[in-house]
Amino acid sequence: MASTLSNRRRHAAHLSHRRRRPARSLRAFLIGGLVGVVLLAIAGVTTLTVAVTDAVRGPQIEIVPPTGDLPPIGAAAYVVVDGDTGEPLASLNADQPRPVASLTKLMTARLVLDAGRLEHTATVPPLQITGDESLAGLEPGDHVSRGELLQAMLVASANDAARTLAVDVAGSERRFVRMMNDEAAAAGLDATRYTNSDGLDDPAQHSSAADVARLAHDLMQEPAFRRIVAAESTALRGSELPATNDLLSAYPGADGIKTGHTDEAGWCIAASATRDGGSIMVVVLGAPTEQARDDAARALLDYGFSVA
């Protein structure tokens, strides 16, 4: 970023000096101008050096300018990824740390899948429900399998299912959060920090479009995860829970993944679609409305298929 230097005092001195010794003033003016050009050139080189240094330090997913017909996207950050190779196709603010709402549950799912034993029966612990949360209607003492809880968490974004899974896997949510952060560090998700298992707003909790995309791409290689996030609904204790991802029934080829929304995060989604054997995945963060989020995801998916 080049800086603009003010020359008002120098210019005033030149004007005063010109009244007494015109020739010398002109020479000083020319020398001053030459110095100014040199300084601007140095500033430009410095800016380029900083930009190159930042590029070398490097984001996990490179900021890629769109090369096709991509309309304006109404979101704070996004990334488009080739779902097969993980190659980035376009992005905006991809490495900017931001709240990601219930996309946090992707890491919860990662740890639950790693723990295995999806048939294991978990006991719902005491739950502290705050505000308007997405819930599956679980009550303390209920007995539900890990597999059912995982489906309720990923399909219907149920916070009570996420907390139950955290306690069941780690013994307490605090220990589970430590596991989440250890996994994020091991995976190189440098913009990611967790404080809970469900994604409720917390100033210390954040991720990025790039980190979410890397995590989602990894999870989509697991058949059990792919099957769950492609479902338009799931059932728990006799009740049907509809998917929060409306693209599953509205976008051709849509096969996942997860939505999220809080006051701080705005409307977010990690979305995937497969056509003619090719897959595109997008992450949208900080859209102002649910409709804007879905419109952004559609536009980015269309763009991905057009250039992949």
Mean residue pLDDT of the chain comes to: 83
Question: Cα dihedral angle (162, 293, 99, 160), rounded to 10 degrees?
Answer: -20
**What is the CATH superfamily name and number for domain 77-307?**
DD-peptidase/beta-lactamase superfamily (3.40.710.10)
Once rounded to an integer, what is the mean pLDDT over residues 136-163?
96
pLDDT above 70: percentage of residues in the chain: 78
List the catalytic residue out of 134, 157, 207, 272. Answer: 157
Is 249 a residue of the active site? no
Structural domain boundaries in the chain: 8-57, 77-307
Note the pLDDT of residue 68. 58
Is 233 a residue of the active site? no
List the catalytic residue out of 6, 16, 25, 102. Answer: 102
Query: With bands split at pLDDT 50, 70 and 90, how would you rate the model's confidence at 132?
Result: confident
List the catalytic residue out of 3, 16, 91, 105. Answer: 105
Q: Nearest Cα to 220, choosing from 306, 110, 97? A: 110
> Does position 101 have pLDDT exceeding 60, yes or no?
yes
103 contacts 258 by C-beta, under 8 angstroms:
yes
Over residues 150-196, the pLDDT tens digits come to: 999 999 999 999 999 999 999 999 999 999 999 999 999 999 999 99
**Sheet strand arrangement including 278-287:** 88-92, 77-82, 278-287, 266-275, 254-262
> Does position 104 have pLDDT exceeding 90, yes or no?
yes
Is 16 a residue of the active site? no
* Residue bearing tokens 């204790």: 237
